[in-house]
Structure 1
Amino acid sequence: MRLIASDIDGTILGHDGKISTRTVEAFAAAAEAGIDIVFVTGRPPRWLDPIREQIGHTGTVICSNGAVTYDLAADKVVDSHVLSWDVVDQVRSIVAGLAPKPYFALESLTGLHVEDGFYGNRTSAFGAGIVPAALTPDMADGGIVKMLAVLHAGNADEFLDLVSPSLNTLLAVTHSAPDLALLEMGPLGVNKAVTLAQYAAARGFDAADVVAFGDMPNDIEMLGWAGAGYAMASGHPQAIAAAALQAPRFEDDGVARVIESRLAALRLA
């Protein structure tokens, strides 16, 4: 174990926005032992406060499902992959033709843009202060790194199965929504595993050196690529099926338990 790559939401971070003390201490012990740590998330750079404030991470975070590599210490984007407006426009038309009343949002390097109706009856702390507006081509000037589509009925698995066969030559489609029909769509050929592999190679690590943790379909490629890919026992069935290994449930500090065990094994080696 030379590199730990961990998802955030549902893996180490709860709905209450908290990371357990045991998990914070496990990451601190790994860093102290000289293990490189990178967080790999669907979140955009501006939603990384829990990692910065609770774990004290100041290194790299792979954001937006691999579309953005962000340096927390410098507060800057190191690398990015973006969607063209032409792809966005095609995808909107295809999804609208397949699904009843979809609503869309665009995550760019400069902010989140949502159309009226996207949140439905829900409120979102992430959307606080954002005024819904029509999605327009000029938004591509900010560098679109993720496109979101939501239905206010059904679930994400059903939505993904419905539209992905018609979209998978245009962009990458996945989801990380446990209780909402929300899809996350990014640049074709880009996912968490692709960008993590680049990060690892730049530091002289290969897949066998990497221990990865995740819980949702957007983690599947990463869990399959890592030499030791752990799906959370509390995670999505597809993530569990894709991973060779399983960590205890999030509620049982599963990531911390695995890190503690592996650090103990290193000390005995």
Structure 2
Amino acid sequence: MLPALIATDVDGTLLDADELVTPRTKAAVRAAVDAGTTFVLATGRPPRWIPPVVDALGFAPMAVCANGAVLYDSATDRILSAKTLSVDLLAELAEVATRVIPGAGLAVERVGRSAHDAATPQFLSSPDYEHAWLNPDNTVVSLEDVLNAPAVKLLIRKSGASSADMAAALAPHIGLEGDLTYSTNNGLVEVVPLGVTKASGVDEVARPLGIAAGDVVAFGDMPNDVPMLLWAGLGVAMGNAHPDAKAAADEVTTPNTDDGLARVLERWWL
């Protein structure tokens, strides 16, 4: 099978340990794109965190962001679509999250018309929200202000906790209201609208192009990649992947630190 579309996660998959695209991976991706293959980023990242990836790749692909909730055209810097959690649903989810996970802090991701739409405050967190990564770009506001407008993603964070344990505790309460997942095991769980996954986001790109799931090769490393790995004709987990991602994949390649993505693409290109 010569894939018609490549869909890849970013962190832990396309990028190496230094958050770079290695020369080998860049060459393999470039060869596929030059041959006419569609290349799509599928990430938990918001659109505003896509430009560094574009710079590393050397071209601007379509990006499925926020675990499938946002379709972002990085070439034109336009948000093409966004699926949101309503204000009423955010209030329900916040009540459940803080009751089931005592001490959890909450944050939301919103999008405007472009990656850095100044008219839309994009990453809002409550005062007790502790970040799971370095160099956060949030705005601290009251919990009421966090929840007062629709959002593409709700983030539930408890420092020192396990994301897997948090997700297991929340699933019975949230599973019928939103899609619950995580991309790090560092005490951070993410909720997007029900039915929204990386698979649904990539399908939103592929379908108008006449590309079926069977013609897609997808790469990932964490539980938020599982729906996409199951959906794609060929789902590839990285050697460094979470056990759930490996179990969902058709095959496991080498880690992101050893050009795992490139090694698969080189079967068809280069």
Does the 8 A contact of 1:213 with 1:229 survive in 2?
yes
**Helix, strand or coil at the partner of 1:248:** coil
**Helix, strand or coil at the partner of 2:268:** helix
| Deviates further, 241-250 or 252-261 | 241-250
Aligned partners of 2:167 and 2:16: how far apart in 1? Answer: 24
After TM superposition, the score normalised by the length of structure 1 is: 0.92
Q: Give the corresponding residue for 1:165.
A: 172
Identity among equivalent positions (%) equals 36
Aligned-residue offset at 1:170 = 0.8
After TM superposition, the score normalised by the length of structure 2 is: 0.91
Select the residue among 249, 252, 255 that pairs with 1:246. 252
1:144 equivalent to 2:151? Answer: yes
Aligned-residue offset at 1:137 = 5.4
1:105 equivalent to 2:117? Answer: no
Aligned partners of 1:232 and 1:6: how far apart in 2? Answer: 11
Number of residue equivalences: 259
**Paired amino acid for 1:114:** S
Deviation string 1:81-134 (CA, Å, 9 cap, x unpaired) is 0011111111111111111200000000131001112126x6622x24x34111
Structure 2: unaligned runs, 5 residues or longer: 112-119
Query: Judging changes above 3 Å, is the alpha-carbon distance between structure 1 residues 156 and 123 closer, same or farther for their aligned structure 2 residues?
Result: closer
What pairs with 1:28-67 in structure 2 (closer than 5 Å)? 28-67=30-69
Aligned partners of 2:110 and 2:169: how far apart in 1? Answer: 26
Q: Give the corresponding residue for 1:116.
A: 127
Select the residue among 214, 219, 224 that pairs with 1:208. 214
Aligned partners of 1:14 and 1:92: how far apart in 2? Answer: 34
* RMSD, matched Cα: 1.6
Structure 1 residue ranges (4+ consecutive) displaced by more than 2 angstroms after TM superposition? 14-17, 135-141
Select the residue among 253, 258, 267 that pairs with 2:264. 258
Aligned partners of 1:7 and 1:236: how far apart in 2? Answer: 13
Q: Give the corresponding residue for 2:223.
A: 217
1:14 equivalent to 2:16? Answer: yes
1:195 equivalent to 2:210? Answer: no
Select the residue among 141, 144, 148 that pairs with 1:133. 141
Select the residue among 95, 98, 103 that pairs with 1:96. 98
Aligned partners of 1:139 and 1:94: how far apart in 2? Answer: 14
Q: Give the corresponding residue for 1:176.
A: 183
Does the 8 A contact of 2:236 with 2:253 survive in 1?
yes
**Paired amino acid for 1:105:** A
Deviation string 1:205-249 (CA, Å, 9 cap, x unpaired) is 111110000000000000000000101111100010111111211
